[in-house]
Amino acid sequence: MEPTNFFTQLAQLDINGQIVLTIAKGAENNLIVSTLVRPLSPVDANKNLIIPYNLSATAEDLDNCYFERITTPLTKAGEIIDNMDEYMKSLENITAKSQREKAKTGKPQGGTDKRVQKYEEAMKKAGDLEKQGKYSDAWSALPKASEYPEHAEFIKNRQSYYEQQIWPDLFGNNNAHSNNEADEQDENSDVENV
């Protein structure tokens, strides 16, 4: 039997991952060769996203063109895997750093403090404008209930209160005085017409 250089050529691809070969006999004396590159780390959840590269040909054709056909796809797959491994390592580092920071301060890092501070500032500004009687501006200064669902009911109550101050109930009891004046004018106009 003549020696082959199959494994030497495979090693020359320099893929940073596992190369999984599946060879099956197909129709008409063809072989089906499925070549898959998987990451070395078994933890990587994205490893199943890469599908195998399949070739179907006679044994002679595969001898002549297999490496020519798989070099580019396997190299690209290896680059993706390298990037995935680096990405997963960076996520692990960030997670570990964040957990260390939380352990030091006892508080979550970053955005939560700023978010609470932004809410408190908006509520203080709305309160100050309310004291000045600027209900429309106070209503506009309120934070959005959708951005602070934990305070949504309180924000909506404040909005309702400001709306009542801006646009009083036209049919309620608080306009009784203006209704009486209108009635008096109607009565006077009737007298003048007589």
Rounded distance between C-alpha atoms, residue 59 and residue 5, angstroms: 15
The domains of the chain are located at 6-105, 111-169
Q: What is the pTM of this model?
A: 0.41
Q: Write down how long the chain is.
A: 194
pLDDT at 50: 74
Residue among 77, 78, 80, 35 at smallest CA distance from 53: 35
Question: Taking the CA of residue 44 as centre, how many other CA atoms within 13 Å lie in the half-sphere pointing to its CB?
Answer: 24
The type of residue at 181 is E
Give the domain 6-105 fold: Double Stranded RNA Binding Domain (3.30.160)
Q: How many other β-carbons are positioned within 10 Å of the β-carbon of residue 111?
A: 9
pLDDT at 180: 42
Mean pLDDT by 10 residues, the chain (194 residues): 80 81 91 84 60 88 87 79 70 79 62 82 90 89 88 87 75 45 43 39
Using an 8 Å Cβ cutoff, are 32 and 54 in contact?
yes
Q: How many other β-carbons are positioned within 10 Å of the β-carbon of residue 35?
A: 20
pLDDT at 175: 43
CA-derived radius of gyration, the chain: 37
The two tokens of residue 44 are: 């990587």
pLDDT at 111: 60
For the chain, the maximum distance between any two Cα atoms, rounded to a whole number of angstroms, is 131
